[in-house]
Amino acid sequence: MQNFQNLFRLDGKIALVAGAASGIGRAAARGLAASGATVVCADINDQGAASVAGEIKKENGKAESMRLDITDATSIATAIASHPRIDILVSTPAVNVRKPLLIYSAEEFDKVTRLNLKGTFLIAQAVARAMSEQKNGSIIFFSSIRSITVEPGQGVYAATKAGLVQLARTFAAELGASGVRVNCIAPGIVETPLTEPIKSRPEWYSAYANKNALGRWASSDEMAGPVVFLASQASSYVTGAVLFVDGGWTAIDGRFQPPI
């Protein structure tokens, strides 16, 4: 029988957060630690990862840090070898090149797909193998509202985020019998280093805020709750799902408020 008092607790769990040095990854790491998990803060920015691990320890949480490049098989193998048991994987790294498709270069295409799609696949594949042997685990990808809605200049980024949804669904289908769950979180507009250039352009910033039902951007910290939910027993029957955390962006038209 389910213990409802501990639905969201992660005591005794080991969580690997890729991209933990900043933004959504940092929020996810802190949220998981606050719920009782021991968090491995991993990032290509090893100093940033160490800083976040330090924050968690100051908050009486359990954390360590390591350098991890999810596009590099050797880096991933090192991470897995040093952490043979991983109960939770959160993968957040992403890059975007805002540019019309007709002038997109092959190098830019490779840059975006290599990190966003291939990198996520490589780290998930490696962790999933270990989780399959231990017969449990939760893997969380970060997709985006761009997986289903797009705008000029976002084509390749959107394609990778849509690809992550199908990748998660396939992992979920193939790993379900092993007790491993795989899901996506699809944020709307979140204030992160990736979206920092938009903040300096008030008209653009306001337009995005006014597009969703809540009329504002999300903070990175608002992604921590959905991560904890999908990592915990509270979502024990949820796999292959996409959780939109977008302030209602994909639910409403957003272009005009009719007089009612």
Q: What is the CATH number of the domain that holds 97?
A: 3.40.50.720
| Residue 20 placed within a domain | yes
Q: What is the mean pLDDT of residues 158-174?
A: 98
Strand locations in the chain (E): 14-18, 38-43, 62-67, 88-91, 137-142, 180-187, 190-191, 218-219, 242-245
Handedness of CA 54, 8, 42, 62 (dihedral sign): positive
Is 136's pLDDT higher than 90? Answer: yes
Phi-psi region of 198 (alpha: psi -120 to 50; beta: other; left: phi over 0): alpha
| Residue 253 placed within a domain | no
Residue 257, Cβ density class (10 Å: 0-12 exposed, 13-18 middle, ≥19 buried): exposed
Structural domain span for residue 58: 9-245
Mean pLDDT lowest among 110-124, 196-210, 212-226, 229-243: 196-210
| Residue 177 placed within a domain | yes
Report the number of distinct structural domains present in the chain: 1
Q: Token pair 């360590």 is at which residue?
A: 64
Q: Decide: 43 and 19 in contact? Cβ < 8 Å.
A: yes
Q: What is the pLDDT of residue 255?
A: 67
Q: Decide: 13 and 38 in contact? Cβ < 8 Å.
A: yes
For 51-104, write each residue's pLDDT tens digit: 999 999 999 999 999 999 999 999 999 999 999 899 999 999 999 999 999 999
Is 157 an annotated catalytic residue? yes
| Residue 206 placed within a domain | yes
Both tokens of 54, joined, read: 């330090």
| Residue 259 placed within a domain | no
Catalytic residue among 104, 157, 208, 237: 157
| Residue 250 placed within a domain | no
Distant-in-sequence, close-in-space partners of 67: CB < 8 Å, separation ≥ 6:
42, 43, 44, 46, 49, 75
Q: Decide: 88 and 232 in contact? Cβ < 8 Å.
A: no
At 66 the three-state DSSP class reads: strand
Go through 70-88 and write b for each residue having 16 or more CB atoms within 10 A of its CB, e for each that does not.
bbeeebbeebbeebeebbb
181, β-bridge pairs: 138
Is 47's pLDDT higher than 90? Answer: yes
| Residue 255 placed within a domain | no
| Residue 229 placed within a domain | yes
Chain centroid offset of residue 209 CA: 21
pTM as predicted? 0.95
For the chain, the maximum distance between any two Cα atoms, rounded to a whole number of angstroms, is: 61
Q: What is the mean pLDDT of residues 3-8?
A: 90
Report which DSSP code applies to 12: T
Report which DSSP code applies to 7: T
